[in-house]
Chain A
């Protein structure tokens, strides 16, 4: 994992980094501007919505949308982690998370360990399994040739789903939650109900995002991720161990995915397909936020969730069937103006 450079690797001083600051500032301004536009549009829509259906309904829809969106964002986070290091979308991310959640479920159900421990067991096991999968099935391929890797992830998706169905069956199961679940364990905000379960899930998600963002933007591992994603050949020359970098991205992503699964399962219930449904929205969230931005995943998730709840709620003709349609409509609209997502990094190509 070591990154060896010819001269003082830890020194941030020098002309190059100042140039980087200018670029970073421009990027921040641009991200702020796009977030501002999205917020302004949301606000405008909210005014209409409150007039149309009353404040309580509006708040309830916002709560529904945002809490769902946080779940999408968590899975999107896992996608982004793999994408950042490899430039590939892992189609098996949802299936891996589902499997990890089932492992945690088994730990609670069969071995009667406390839930927190069970979730940690699930995360560790799935991280280990993901590292193994990466070593055996992904590393043999040329990292810059994406098509075979995509096929491997699709194959994993098929196989893991079937394996889970074989082991645990299709019947939905309840999954315990970390937070109080009594019938009046909720915050009442203007008449709308925000249950502690959902609030807690959202807080955990934010904590995970902040932690990962700090880790990856401040650590060598994060640097190695970006290095490998942008150019495999140069990274190799710089002494970045490509395999291990990709491996750790898979492992972290699997752990995050499993955590997301364990947080989602109490409200969506647990069956072999429960993560597939979230995964599609997570694609949307990751794209919307920018495929290489960790904070963007969460922002994208929340915007996706809100867009679905508000658009399908207030435009009756659309109805719930168009949930996915609404999500993707928002994405296409955003990508027209920001082709690499709300918080994504614009890449510049050389000829």
Chain B
């Protein structure tokens, strides 16, 4: 069916991957330079920020099989860590990210502890508590967090002088923020990619697919779960810090239960078991949030009644249902199916497979071959 067939690991495949990667990178780098609108650059930046949060949630939900409806709290924790360090202690923005990571690692591990005994939807309910409590805690300590009115930093992050973007145009500062955030986000995607392919990543998959078998084959299920929670929270925390870099203002309403629910929706809409799925997920999330209201207003379905906003709710519901019906595996699945129409990549057979091809039959009449 595919127009081209490439075998995995061949030169053509490698060239294809590098080509697509470079093209993607070039696209991301050029994108803010060709967009004239500040608000649109900020929208794209937010997509990048949220994609990191969704990526983190994906590590937990998609790769380790633990549901969390509490990730808004981790995003918030990262955001508040950054804003407090920047506004009250004059830290540079980027230097706060490692602190966010540490804080969220600890918080995530703490939330992960109940997961040792509690499973499935029971766990989901426990994580709801985390999401619901975060705004309350923020309001409880106003001297530290600014209370319900939020906390603001006076100075935005500025790029060093040698940087090529002119900061004195309206689009300058948001473009600077975009690049900084993009670099951090790219790093996070790389880390996630490596985690999933590492030994602990395979252990996470085993815990997801068959927890009992995983335990039986010597995987420390408890440690893996806590690890997944901690790392996932750290990703969310980085996303929170990035959101603050994009706009140095936080308030409790930004990190409520709805954010958690929407992150989960975005994850599933994007494709939960894929690293790349976080990107279409974030696009769906931010675009829905940003544009659908004005678009619905523009449709003018109610003949001038001002409740046009309610159309948004109905439309977002309808769109989400359409998404699950048309792309049950997420957008990324749809994209993969599309790619398969053009290029089919044949998986590489395991190394030395020919040697073991008839192993089943030959085992009886000759001793097993030991390597090395």
Instruction: Write the residues of chain B forming the contact surface with A, with a CB cutoff of 8 angstroms.
Output: 114, 117-119, 121-122, 124-126, 128-129, 132-133, 136, 139-140, 210-213, 216, 257, 261, 264-265, 268-269, 272, 302, 307, 310-314, 316-321, 323-325, 328
Contact A151 B118 (CB under 8 A): no
Q: Which residue of B lies closest to A83 (CB)?
A: B121
Contact A154 B114 (CB under 8 A): no
Contact A151 B324 (CB under 8 A): yes
Contact A155 B122 (CB under 8 A): no
Q: How far is the CA of A351 from the CA of B139 in the complex (A)?
A: 47
The residue that A152 contacts in the complex, of B117, B122, B125, B324, with Cβ under 8 A, is B324
27 intermolecular pairs with C-beta atoms under 8 Å apart: A89-B124, A91-B261, A145-B328, A148-B328, A151-B268, A151-B269, A151-B320, A155-B320, A155-B321, A158-B320, A159-B314, A160-B317, A161-B313, A165-B310, A283-B125, A321-B136, A324-B132, A324-B133, A325-B132, A328-B125, A328-B126, A328-B128, A328-B129, A331-B125, A335-B118, A336-B114, A336-B118
Q: For A159, list chain B residues within 8 Å (CB).
A: 313-314, 316-318
Looking at chain B's contact residues, the main secondary structure is helix
Q: For B136, list chain A residues within 8 Å (CB).
A: 321-322, 324-325
Q: For A141, list chain B residues within 8 Å (CB).
A: 324, 328
Q: How far is the CA of A219 from the CA of B122 in the complex (A)?
A: 27
Contact B126 A165 (CB under 8 A): no
Interface residues of A in 328-351 (CB under 8 A from B): 328-329, 331-332, 335-336, 339-341, 349-351
Interface residues of A in 189-214 (CB under 8 A from B): none
Q: How far is the CA of A180 from the CA of B129 in the complex (A)?
A: 37
Contact B311 A166 (CB under 8 A): yes
Q: For A349, list chain B residues within 8 Å (CB).
A: 211-212
Q: How far is the CA of A139 from the CA of B268 in the complex (A)?
A: 19
Q: How far is the CA of A339 from the CA of B269 in the complex (A)?
A: 30
- A20 within 8 A of partner (CB): no
The residue that A148 contacts in the complex, of B124, B140, B268, with Cβ under 8 A, is B268
The 6 closest A-B pairs by CB, nearest first: A162-B313, A159-B317, A328-B129, A155-B320, A166-B310, A287-B125
- Do A332 and B133 form a contact, CB below 8 Å, given A147-B272, A148-B268? no
Q: For A163, list chain B residues within 8 Å (CB).
A: 310, 313-314
B-contact bits for A240-252, CB 8 A (1 contact / 0 none): 0000000000000
Known: A158-B314, A291-B121, A328-B133. 20 other contacts (CB 8 A): A141-B328, A148-B324, A154-B264, A155-B317, A159-B313, A162-B310, A163-B313, A165-B310, A283-B125, A324-B136, A325-B129, A327-B129, A328-B128, A328-B129, A329-B129, A331-B125, A335-B114, A335-B118, A339-B118, A351-B210
Q: How far is the CA of A152 from the CA of B324 in the complex (A)?
A: 7
Q: Which residue of B lies closest to A148 (CB)?
A: B324
Contact B117 A151 (CB under 8 A): no
Most chain B Cβ neighbours within 10 Å, of A140, A160, A162, A325:
A162
Q: For A166, list chain B residues within 8 Å (CB).
A: 302, 307, 310-311, 314
- A150 within 8 A of partner (CB): yes
Contact B213 A336 (CB under 8 A): no
Q: For B261, list chain A residues within 8 Å (CB).
A: 91, 154
The residue that B317 contacts in the complex, of A158, A324, A328, A336, with Cβ under 8 A, is A158
- Classify chain A's interface size: 35 or more
Q: For B325, list chain A residues within 8 Å (CB).
A: 140
Interface residues of A in 134-175 (CB under 8 A from B): 137, 140-141, 145, 147-148, 150-152, 154-163, 165-166
B-contact bits for A38-68, CB 8 A (1 contact / 0 none): 0000000000000000000000000000000
Q: How far is the CA of A99 from the CA of B127 in the complex (A)?
A: 27
Contact B125 A165 (CB under 8 A): no
Q: How far is the CA of A286 from the CA of B145 in the complex (A)?
A: 33
- A115 within 8 A of partner (CB): no
The residue that A162 contacts in the complex, of B317, B319, B323, with Cβ under 8 A, is B317
Q: For B129, list chain A residues within 8 Å (CB).
A: 324-325, 327-329, 331-332
Q: Which residue of A lies closest to B267 (CB)?
A: A147
Contact A89 B121 (CB under 8 A): yes
Q: How far is the CA of A179 from the CA of B310 in the complex (A)?
A: 35
The residue that A155 contacts in the complex, of B117, B310, B318, with Cβ under 8 A, is B318
- A284 within 8 A of partner (CB): yes
Report B114 CB to chain A, min CB distance, Å.
6
The residue that B122 contacts in the complex, of A154, A321, A324, A340, with Cβ under 8 A, is A340
Report B66 CB to chain A, min CB distance, Å.
13
Most chain A Cβ neighbours within 10 Å, of B136, B211, B302, B316:
B136
Q: Which residue of B lies closest to A290 (CB)?
A: B122
Contact B310 A339 (CB under 8 A): no
Q: For B264, list chain A residues within 8 Å (CB).
A: 150, 154
- A280 within 8 A of partner (CB): yes
Q: Which residue of B lies closest to A329 (CB)?
A: B129
- Do A332 and B313 form a contact, CB below 8 Å, given A159-B318, A351-B213? no
Report B316 CB to chain A, min CB distance, Å.
5
Contact B132 A280 (CB under 8 A): yes
Q: For A150, list chain B residues within 8 Å (CB).
A: 264, 268
Q: For B320, list chain A residues within 8 Å (CB).
A: 151-152, 154-155, 158
Q: How far is the CA of A322 from the CA of B135 in the complex (A)?
A: 10
Contact A332 B114 (CB under 8 A): yes
Q: How far is the CA of A336 from the CA of B311 in the complex (A)?
A: 43
Most chain B Cβ neighbours within 10 Å, of A145, A163, A335, A349:
A335
Q: Which residue of B lies closest to A163 (CB)?
A: B314
Report B219 CB to chain A, min CB distance, Å.
13
Q: For B121, list chain A residues within 8 Å (CB).
A: 83, 89, 287, 291
Contact A321 B132 (CB under 8 A): no
Contact B122 A339 (CB under 8 A): yes
Q: Which residue of A lies closest to B273 (CB)?
A: A147
